[in-house]
């Protein structure tokens, strides 16, 4: 049974891409068939992580959303390069600024069709016996991100310790996730222990917290590594495995 | 000329002036009326002017969020499974078929959803105007 996760947050810079990439790698490391899609169309970042050869990427997630290409034409197998037991395929969002600008001008009809095309793509991945689909989304109420949330089974909400992030997450929970009947879990990222008391007061008891990852400088300095693969004993990697294990209860 | 006679002549002059003004207003009103009649006739003949302007009724994810809860669940389910009967939707939403049929027909009236007959079954799908 395919399980679809949307990694989303109210604010930018909460570590969505980092968690999405490492979680995808952790699933693939476990022998699963995983598809990671960059739905952060306004600020694409999977190309920065996986550094695909520009000549090898002919089609993008943009082509899936516009209905020009099917899901199987826009995903690229990276398992060989990463030397993992399972299979990890990645769909990149086009980082070309002209493409990003064009996308920003799309109307509601286009976005409505984009949601249909995501669902068609998801059904195709289910037919291909993909175990896990992960949508790495952009922050806030962006069309592409909310489309991805709508097409997911669970929303992994990334949160940092700021008051504004807490308030915006509450708004998103009540105004989007709940309305779409989505199951939600929280990952507190870049957490500061000194804020523990204040954070506890803020927590929404309706949403389970899967993990609290402390703020670690060496994650920032090792940003071009997939720690879940390169350093499995790292505190961050262990948190990723724990998230993966806890998510299994929701499959 | 005494004051009384002077007053009579002045009043008579004012009454004459008022009559002229009223006549002119009446003439202008008739002109406007004629022009409006011509415009109305032209509108009836012109299919472009006759066309009803519809608001953008695309059922996108933001529109889904603004629907009332009961219709949102029905519309979201229809988005997920594609063309379906009221019975298919009711099976997933765990509501009565008649209830879902009512909701689907409400979405049809809102022009978010279209329906078609295939054999003895009536299928609903997200409006094809947006395809």
CATH code assigned at B73: 1.10.10.10
Model pLDDT, residue A143: 92
At residue B131, the pLDDT reads 37
Asked if residues A159 and A189 have their Cβ atoms less than 8 Å apart, the reply is yes
Predicted pLDDT at A20 = 97
Nearest chain B CA: its distance from A246 CA (Å):
26
- Using the beta-carbon criterion (under 8 Å), do A116 and B79 form an inter-chain contact? yes
Q: Is residue B55 part of a domain?
A: no
- Residue bearing tokens 């694409």: A44
Q: Check if A171 contacts B (Cβ < 8 Å).
A: no
Residue B68 and residue B35 in one domain: no
Closest CB to B61: pick one of A107, A147, A181.
Answer: A147
Residues near B33 by Cβ (< 8 Å), separated by ≥ 6? none
- Is B60 close to A108, i.e. CB distance below 8 A? yes
- Residue to mutate among A2, A65, A108, A112, with most B CBs inside 10 A, is A112
- Quote the tokens at residue B55: 């608001």
The reply to whether B56 falls in a domain is no
ipTM field: 0.79
- Whether residues B8 and B37 share a domain: the answer is yes
CB within 8 A of B2, min separation 6: which ones?
A: none
The 3-class secondary structure across A188-243, one letter per residue, is: EEEECHHHHHHHHHHCCCCCCEEEEEECCHHHHHCCCCCHHHHCCCCHHHHHHHHH
Indicate whether B66 and B45 sit together in one domain. Answer: no
pLDDT 10s digits, B1-19: 555 555 555 666 676 678 8
> DSSP letter at B68?
-
B64-116 pLDDT tens trace: 999 999 999 999 999 989 899 999 999 999 999 999 999 999 999 999 999 99
Q: State how many domains chain B has.
A: 2
CB B127 within 8 Å of CB B57: yes
Q: Judged by CB atoms within 8 Å, which residues 13-32 of A form the interface with B?
A: none
Reported as a single tens digit per residue, the pLDDT across A73-130 is 999 999 998 989 899 999 999 999 999 999 999 998 899 999 999 999 999 999 999 9
CB contact under 8 A, A180 and B126: no
List the A183-191 sheet strands across, edge first.
A75-77, A87-91, A33-39, A132-137, A3-9, A154-159, A183-191, A209-214
Chain A partners of B59 at a C-beta cutoff of 8 Å? 112
Is the CB of residue B115 less than 8 Å from the CB of residue B108? yes
Asked if residue B27 has pLDDT above 60, the reply is yes
**B44 and B84 inside one domain:** no
Q: Give A164-213 pLDDT, tens digit per residue.
A: 898 999 999 999 999 999 999 999 998 877 666 555 556 667 899 999 99
Residues A11-49 have pLDDT tens digits of 999 999 999 999 999 999 999 999 999 999 999 999 999
Is residue B22 one of the residues assigned to a domain? yes
- Asked if residue B44 and residue B73 are part of one domain, the reply reads no
Residue linked to tokens 């990276």: A78
CA of B50 to nearest chain A CA: how many angstroms apart?
Answer: 25
Q: Is residue B18 part of a domain?
A: yes
Set out the domains of chain A in order of their start, with CATH numbers: 3-250 (3.40.50.300)
pLDDT of residue A214: 85
Q: Do A109 and B80 touch (CB under 8 A)?
A: no
Please indicate whether, in this complex, the C-beta atoms of B64 and A111 are within 8 angstroms of each other.
Answer: no
Region of B82 (left: φ > 0; alpha: ψ -120 to 50; beta: rest) is left
Give a yes or no: residue B104 inside a domain.
yes
Contact yes or no for A180 and B79 at CB 8 A: no
Mutate to test the interface with B, among A2, A6, A108 (most CBs of B within 10 A): A108
Taking only the tens place, the pLDDT of each residue in B37-63 is: 777 666 556 554 444 435 556 788 999
For residue A97, is it left (φ>0), alpha (ψ between -120 and 50) or beta?
alpha
Contact B62 A181 (CB under 8 A): no
Residues 21-40 of B with CB under 8 A from A: none
Q: Length of chain A in residues, anyone?
A: 251
Rg (CA), chain B: 32
Same domain, yes or no: B45 and B65:
no
SS3 B52: coil
Does A143 contact B60 at a Cβ distance shorter than 8 Å? Answer: yes
B46 within some domain: yes
Q: Is A245 helix (H, G, I), strand (E, B) or coil?
A: helix
Domain that holds residue B125: 61-130
Instruction: Give yes or no for residue A217 having a pLDDT over 80.
Output: no
Q: Looking at the whole model, is its pTM more than 0.90?
A: no
Residue in the block written with tokens 């049929």: B101
A76 CB-contact burial (10 Å; exposed 0-12 / middle 13-18 / buried 19+): middle
| CA end-to-end distance (rounded Å), chain A | 8
Question: Which among A112, A119, A180 has the least Cβ separation from residue B59?
Answer: A112
- Do B71 and B124 have their domain in common? yes
């Amino acid at each position: 049974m395919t399980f679809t996760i949307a990694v989303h947050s109210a604010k930018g810079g909460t570590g969505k891409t980092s968690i999405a990439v490492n979680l995808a790698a952790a699933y693939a490391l476990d022998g699963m068939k995983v598809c990671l899609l960059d739905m952060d169309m306004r600020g694409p970042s999977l190309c920065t992580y996986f550094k695909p050869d520009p000549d090898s990427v002919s089609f993008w997630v943009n082509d899936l959303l516009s209905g020009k290409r099917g899901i199987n034409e826009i995903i690229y197998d990276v398992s060989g390069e990463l030397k993992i037991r399972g299979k990890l395929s990645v769909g990149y969002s086009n980082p070309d600024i002209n493409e990003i600008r064009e996308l920003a001008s799309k109307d509601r009809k286009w976005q409505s069709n984009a949601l249909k095309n995501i669902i068609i793509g998801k059904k195709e991945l289910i037919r291909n016996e993909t175990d896990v689909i992960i949508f790495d989304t952009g922050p806030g109420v962006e069309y592409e991100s909310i489309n991805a949330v709508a097409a997911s089974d669970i929303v992994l909400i990334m949160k940092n310790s700021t008051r504004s992030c807490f308030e915006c997450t509450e708004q998103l929970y009540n105004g989007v996730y709940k309305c779409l009947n989505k199951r939600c879990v929280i990952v507190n990222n870049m957490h500061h222990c000194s804020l523990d008391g204040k954070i506890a007061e803020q927590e929404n008891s309706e949403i389970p917290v899967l993990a609290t990852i402390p703020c670690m400088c060496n994650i920032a300095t090792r940003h071009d590594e997939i720690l879940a693969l390169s350093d499995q004993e790292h505190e961050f990697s262990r948190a990723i495995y724990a998230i993966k294990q806890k998510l299994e209860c929701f499959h | 000329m005494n004051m009384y006679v002077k007053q009579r002549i002045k009043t008579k002059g004012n009454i004459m002036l008022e009559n002229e003004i009223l006549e002119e207003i009446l003439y202008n009103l008739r002109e406007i009326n004629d022009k409006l009649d011509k415009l109305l006739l032209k509108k009836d003949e012109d299919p472009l002017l006759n066309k009803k302007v519809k608001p953008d009724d695309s059922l996108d994810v933001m529109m889904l969020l603004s629907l009332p809860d009961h219709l949102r669940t029905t519309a979201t389910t229809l988005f997920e499974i594609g063309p379906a009967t009221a019975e298919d939707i009711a099976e997933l939403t765990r509501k009565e078929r008649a209830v879902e049929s009512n909701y689907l027909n409400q979405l049809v009236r809102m022009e978010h959803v279209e329906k078609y007959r295939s054999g003895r079954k009536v299928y609903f799908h997200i409006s094809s105007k947006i395809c």
